[in-house]
Structures are given as C-alpha cells and as structure tokens.
Chain A
C-alpha cells in the first residue's frame, strides 16, 4: 500500500470536507517525516514506505476513530451566533421598537418568527458548512441581481411576514436608532437609562454583524485548515463576549420592560384627560390613493398654531412621503416626519398636543418614535398643567395602542 492509498483509506471516514483535506495534509506530512527517518537509517524507498505504513497503524481503525471525532457536529461558534441572533436579538429588536406588550398575539408572532429564523439559519448553516456551498452561492447571484434590478429586496419581501417583521424591521430599526440617538445627544447631554440601553443595543447590532461576517469568512476559508492561532483565539473571544453581551441585553431589556409595563398599567389605572388632540392622518392602503383622501387638521392653542400637509401628490404603496409643519405666525416650514407606507398596512401618524392635567405630582406617558424632546419608547416625567407636544405612531393592525392611554 502506498502513501496515497493509505491516507485515503483513513480520511474516507471523515465526512467533513474541510477536515478531510486538512487531515490528508497532516497525515501526509507525518508519513513523509517517518519515511525520511527510515531513509536516513539506510532503508530503500519501498521498504521505508512499507515500514512507515506499519508504524502508523491500521488505516481502517484510525479512519473509524477520525470519523467519530469529526462526525457531523455543529460548528459551535457559528451556531451560537445564529442562536444569539435569533433568540436574543429578535425580541430585543422588537422590544426596542415598542411592539412587545401591545398585544399577546404579537408576542406569539415574535415567537413564531424566532422559530422560523432558527430554522432558516439552521438550514443555511448546514448548506454552507458542509455541502452545496458553491451551488447555494451560485443560485444566490442571479436571485440577488434580479431583485436589485427590479427594485431591491425590500419591494418583494416587505410583505412576507417573517422577512418584514424580523429582517427589515431590524435593519431599519438600527439605522433609525443611530439617527435618533444623534438627535437626542445633539440637543442635550442629559440622557437617561433608556438612551444608554439603546446605545447598548446598537453596539450589540454592530457586534452581531461583525461576528456574522467573521463566521462566514472563516467558513469560506475552510476555517480550521487555514486558521491561525490568533484567529482562533479571536473567535473564542467573540463567542464568549457575545454570550456575555447577550445576557446583559436580555436582563436589561427584561428589567426595562417590567418597569415599562408596570408604569403603563399605573397610568391606565389612574385615568386620563386629553384637552386637545390631532393633526395628520395618512393612509397607505391603495397604490393610487390621492392626497385628497388624506385628512389634515391643525392644532390650535393660545400662542401658535400648526398645520401639516403632505408634499407628495400621490402615494404609491411603498413611497416615502414627507409631512411638513408650519406655524401661522411666520415660523419657517420644517419637516416633521418622513414615513414609509407599505402595502396592506394602514399607518396613522398623529400629532398630539396634550394638556396634561395630573392629580399627582407627576405622571409618565409613553410616546412612540423619537419626536422632538421625546425618545422612542421613553416615559417622560411631566408636571401639572404643563403642555407637551407628543407624537404617537399608531398602526391599525395593533388594536391596543397607546394613543388612547390616559393621563390625569
């Protein structure tokens, strides 16, 4: 039996392709070293090779043992990335956007999406890790090209429940968060816990992306065969940091949610009175819905009034429209909000001016989306009799919304 046959008899038991190549190389090196030892001892080449085979042992036995070691086990760091992404980030992302707690049914949706996400990652992981890798990549290229040329992935996937809810929401949420945090910080350095929680979640986003890229790069590079010790140590560090950060986020989010929920309940129990309400409603159900079908109203108080209008004349289903607001006393026009409309989803954008009357020293109230002085999902302390301009974002498919919650 020559070297090639001998080693092939060993590695045929290994199912992992990259490990097969690496083991071939390693065993081949060993074979050459031992053969050289016999050659140096004065044996003929053929004899040296035979003696080397004998010295290395039964190929079938070694192969079986190697096969057991390198069975189809999951590549732990990559799997952990997927698990953390699926199990931690989806609820955190949805929590940050203020969805959780609004409806029980929605929580079920989150759970279903998490399960779907896991399945998706699991299958893509197996495909990328072991087999059909080239086929998958080749299949993706025309798919991505087609979608890009035809208007981008969002256009075709925004209405798919899992994709819109998990993928796009997460992406837009991260981008929106950066902008919102910048705006808050630009106005004032006095920021509270929820601000830092959002900063933390952003860091986590960045970390996830970094880890995912690192994981994919290592998979593509046939990982173990070419990985240096430094890279492996880095991976280990990533793995541990991710677990740690995931835990911190999870605990913080859990605590924050508990406080949020308790205060919301307290606010509802206390009862409410709203003195003035309303500004703009926008609907985006029909592709050809015209501006005329949009309602507009203005808010009036003692000193100033605002009115709002929509700059676009026609709302396409996925168009972005811009709402502008202007004071009647000559205040320059400024953009209030930019909103995207999706097919089959009704959006209502409402500007509220609330005259807050409290029976206590203070009362918290929630606002959705960063608006003027209020952060997304932030409960803001208010004083008796003071007026606050609050923006509520309401989605028609969430029957339980905070627009109707009451403040005393």
Chain B
C-alpha cells in the first residue's frame, strides 16, 4: 500500500531521525533504508530529503561529516543527543496522535 505524499510529509523528520538512530548514513542510504524498512510502502521525493536533513542539522538534531565509502567521499549524518531526545518526543507525539485519530474513527 502506498501512502499519500501529504501523509508522509508530516512524518519525514520522524522517519529520518528514526533511521539515523541505529547508524550514521548518507542521503541516498537514508532513502533506501526508509524504503527497506517500510517494504517499499513509504517513499518520498528524494530531493526533498536534503532540505530536511539540512534543517535538522541547523537545529542540531543531526550533525554531518564527510567519510570515504566505496572509494567515494560521502556526507554522513549522525544523530545527536538532542536529536535523540527530539526523536523520543516525536514518537510520543505520534503515538498520542494515532490514539486520538483512532478515538475519532472508532467513536461509538
């Protein structure tokens, strides 16, 4: 099942931070990892990932560094402690939101 872009858009920060929680990755790998974990049900315009990553970096939720990989230098992103705290709060917010939606849908 593929989801609407709007639905994915509201969760991009959460998705990106969740993927980076386990290991440092570069942009393309982040996209691939999201696809892999969601079994290709979630995908985003890959270019739009970069404004998100850069914004997260500006907010100190992630930090970047260049590292050699497969003979090429790539820009890796690493989640910070602040980012981990933010991820936790996003997860909690998401769970609460889902519960609220369920309540509305299952009313009565």
Contact = CB atoms under 8 A, between A and B. Distances in A.
A363 B79 CA distance: 60
Contacts of B27: 26, 29-30
Interface in B8-51: 26-28, 45-48, 50-51
A26 B47 contact: no
B66 A62 contact: no
A399 interface: no
A26 B67 CA distance: 12
B65 A65 contact: no
B86 interface: no
A42 B54 CA distance: 33
B58 A58 contact: no
A228 B65 CA distance: 5
Given A29-B26, A229-B78, A23 B50 contact: yes
B55 interface: yes
Nearest to B45: A57
Contacts of A59: 47
B48 A26 contact: no
Interface string A52-73: 0001111101100110111001
Grouping DSSP codes into helix (H, G, I), strand (E, B) and loop, the A interface class, with mixed when no group exceeds half, is helix
A323 interface: no
B48 A232 contact: no
B47 A62 contact: yes
Contact of B50 (A26, A34, A73, A229): A26
A69 B51 contact: yes
Contacts of A22: 75
A360 B45 CA distance: 83
B48 A65 contact: yes
A5 B45 CA distance: 18
Interface string B42-74: 000111101100110010000111100000101
A55 B78 CA distance: 25
Contacts of A29: 26-28, 72, 74-75
Contacts of B51: 62, 65-66, 68-69
A238 interface: no
A66 B58 CA distance: 12
B66 A232 contact: no
Interface string A190-231: 000000000000000000000000000000000011111100
Interface residues on A, range: 20 to 34
Contacts of B54: 23, 66, 69-70
B78 A58 contact: no
A223 to B, nearest CB: 11
Contacts of B78: 229
Given A25-B75, A26-B27, A62 B65 contact: no
Nearest to B69: A29
B48 A62 contact: yes
Contacts of A226: 66
A56 B66 contact: no
A226 B75 CA distance: 10
Contacts of A61: 48
A382 interface: no
A27 interface: yes
Contact of B48 (A23, A33, A57, A73): A57
A69 B58 contact: yes
A10 B47 contact: yes
B15 to A, nearest CB: 16
B30 to A, nearest CB: 10
A56 B63 contact: no
B46 A55 contact: yes
A296 B78 CA distance: 71
Give the most central of A27, A57, A227: most B CB within 10 Å: A57
A229 B46 contact: no
Contact of A56 (B46, B58, B65, B75): B46
Contacts of A229: 63-65, 78
A57 B46 CA distance: 7
A27 B75 contact: no
Given A26-B75, A57-B47, 16 more contacts: A26-B27, A29-B26, A34-B28, A56-B45, A58-B47, A59-B47, A66-B50, A68-B51, A69-B51, A70-B54, A225-B66, A228-B66, A229-B64, A229-B65, A232-B65, A233-B63
Interface of B: 26-28, 45-48, 50-51, 54-55, 58, 63-66, 72, 74-75, 78
The 9 closest A-B pairs by CB, nearest first: A57-B45, A65-B51, A229-B65, A56-B47, A62-B47, A33-B28, A57-B47, A69-B54, A56-B46
7 contacts: A29-B26, A30-B27, A55-B46, A56-B47, A58-B45, A62-B50, A66-B51
